[in-house]
A and B are shown apart, each in its own frame.
Chain A
């Protein structure tokens, strides 16, 4: 099972870079969906005797992160008829460079943090930090509101990945609550994007600069 865990973690890492390098919005969202599916399968890979708890989490996560949220974002794209990301502050080459830097930093930093132990590889902690940082990079350097939502999704995925280090130990209620919050959060963001498109005729958040001191 260690191989499966490593492979899934690598898939998470690769999809991060796919989001960083992508300029077509549909591609970015599909990459985030793939990451969600990989994350959803990780509890099964980590905890070999499959309990009802881990199966439930897996099904829930794959449905939410792999199907529901990307589907909702695709709907938002159709409504807003955006196709491509507008000139982001960081071009694709620089983004990929920043991503490699983030991965390097998190690998270095995970050496100093004590290992979660058990079946959880230290790689998981490193990749969770890397995903978090890459999500943050996407969120802050992209201008289209929908891409910022994808960045937020990556951020949440990074945190969720870290949470898997203790997946049997957090009560089901809290995990479901986290998923639910994510769904509602993205739902509300999508609604705001919808209204933004209607109100401002654009999803370019660089235009949101009227409120200032």
Chain B
């Protein structure tokens, strides 16, 4: 059994669910496939699944880390969607499960493949697989959201393709068969600097569009805000990370070619800009799902800053990625619960969540504190490592800006989230909450807490192995 199993299982699941007319059976297949996928991943980590597979798949620490994150979030999404769609029936019923599994297959290909060309194709496939899911509510807002998403992300992906071609050209004329394989690029003797720099620019702008870095972020609040809640969780918790992984792969090639100086300041600049714009726009938000979407933009900015700083900051960025993705997914789940209960996406319409839905309310507050960097949750450790890395790299003003923007974001989110959780009137009656809707967010937050309390040795080893290729080190 080789790595191809990780790819074939979701594809098989997609085919099966496409042919099954009964919704409950499709959902069962969905959860089953997600579980099998996660189990296969665990086997891959322990080395029981070897070597390579179709499409130049190969298991490296960075790709494995992101794929595990995606798989965990995906499983949580499948469990949550069972409960969610009992209350809110989706309209595009038949396509939902196959598209989800198609997304999982494409994400597997993006994270594990060694070939830049395949990564591009798979990235485009994730974009296309998610589009029908964003449009699920079938109203004019979701049409607008999916149109912007499709157009902007497709332009970005086209630019990324151009960058991919330039990478091949950078290998020069005397190479008979230029390769787009990452391992080949990383170990290449000489790469033509002009084409290489041009490639980096286009790849960064292209994949950065999918990550949601400012100023290419305009599709993100609409898409994440209008999609149904499980899909929003998937978008923020999984898709953004896949896109960021693509940027990191480019960083790996840059680091190997010694061109860090070119890309790193760009990353820091875009990251800080994303944090700034997200923070500024957060102060004006009246829709809680868009609020969470802007928070995702801010998180991606943090990741970009961390990876751009290098050293311990890269370690911190990856740790923060793990923690914040899980938190964001659980926050979107709780938001979905609130939407079911209150029927409105406006913050002003939601109050007294802890009275009506006590567990969801508690999870909301906990998730908010976890994501914005409160100890003992994992993102706190990540942010500390980033700050440390900034000081070590001799960039105190970056650290200061980082801290300042984080405070602004914290305040903006706190006003809104605490306002949603508290308040309400005394006639608020406590509702029973479906376990399907509670288990995923609780489970994800539990993982974040566990990671924060004791950063387990295996995870630490994996993180260090991952950051070495990016030019980072342990904190």
Contacts of A136 in B (CB 8 A): 155
> How many angstroms from the CA of A158 to the CA of B195 in the assembled complex?
17
Within 8 Å by CB of A152, from B118, B155, B166, lies: B155
Knowing A200-B143, A211-B144, the reply to whether A162 touches B162 (Cβ < 8 A) is: yes
Residues of A within 8 A of B132 (CB): 188
- In the assembled complex, the Cα of A152 lies from the Cα of B154 at a distance in Å of 8
- The 3 A-B residue pairs with the shortest CB-CB distance, nearest first, are A174-B117, A177-B121, A208-B144
What are the residues of chain B within 8 A of A162 when measuring CB–CB? 162, 165-166
Which chain A residues have a beta carbon within 8 Å of chain B's beta carbons? 112-114, 116-118, 132, 136, 139, 145, 148, 152, 155-156, 158-159, 162-163, 165-166, 169-171, 173-174, 177-178, 180-181, 184-185, 188-189, 192, 195-196, 199-200, 205, 208-211, 213
Interface of B is mostly: helix
Give the interface SS of chain A, mostly helix, strand, loop or mixed.
helix
Q: Are A166 and B151 in contact (CB under 8 A)?
A: no
Could you give 28 example pairs across A and B, Cβ below 8 Å?
Answer: A113-B198, A114-B195, A132-B158, A156-B158, A162-B166, A166-B169, A174-B115, A178-B121, A181-B121, A181-B124, A181-B125, A181-B128, A184-B128, A185-B127, A185-B150, A185-B154, A189-B150, A192-B135, A192-B150, A195-B138, A199-B138, A199-B139, A200-B140, A208-B143, A208-B147, A210-B144, A211-B148, A213-B284
From residue A169, how far is it (CB to closest CB) to chain B in Å?
A: 5
Say whether B376 faces chain A, with CB atoms less than 8 Å apart.
no
Check if B143 sits within 8 Å of A211, measured CB to CB: no
A169-B147 CB under 8 A given contacts A139-B155, A152-B155, A185-B154: no
Bound together, the chains give a CA A165 to CA B165 distance in angstroms of 9
User: Which of B7-15, B173-181, B301-309, B324-332 interfaces with chain A?
Assistant: B173-181
Which chain B residues (148-166) contact chain A, with CB distance < 8 Å? 148, 150-151, 154-155, 158-159, 161-162, 165-166
User: With the chains together, A163 CA to B158 CA distance in Å?
Assistant: 12
**Contact status A171-B117, CB under 8 Å:** yes
Q: CA of A113 to CA of B225 in the docked complex: distance in angstroms? A: 42
Interfacial chain B residues near A195, Cβ < 8 Å: 135, 138, 143
The residues of B that contact A199 with a CB separation of less than 8 Å are 138-140, 143
Q: Known: A188-B128, A211-B225. Contact between A170 and B194, CB under 8 A?
A: no
Q: For residue B388, which residues in chain A have a CB less than 8 angstroms away from its CB?
A: none
Q: Quick check: B151 and A211 within 8 Å, CB to CB?
A: no
Q: Once bound together, how far apart are the Cα atoms of A188 and B165, in whole Å?
A: 25
Residues in A whose Cβ lies below 8 Å from that of B173: 116-118
Are A152 and B284 touching (Cβ within 8 A)? no
Tell me if A192 and B158 are in contact (CB < 8 A). no
Q: Does B182 contact A (CB under 8 A)?
A: no
Q: Note all chain B residues with C-beta closer than 8 A to A113.
A: 194-195, 198
**Residues 74-132 of B at the A interface (beta carbon under 8 Å):** 115, 117-118, 120-121, 124-125, 127-128, 131-132
A177:B118 contact, CB within 8 angstroms: yes
A188's partner among B117, B131, B161, B284 (CB-CB below 8 A) is: B131
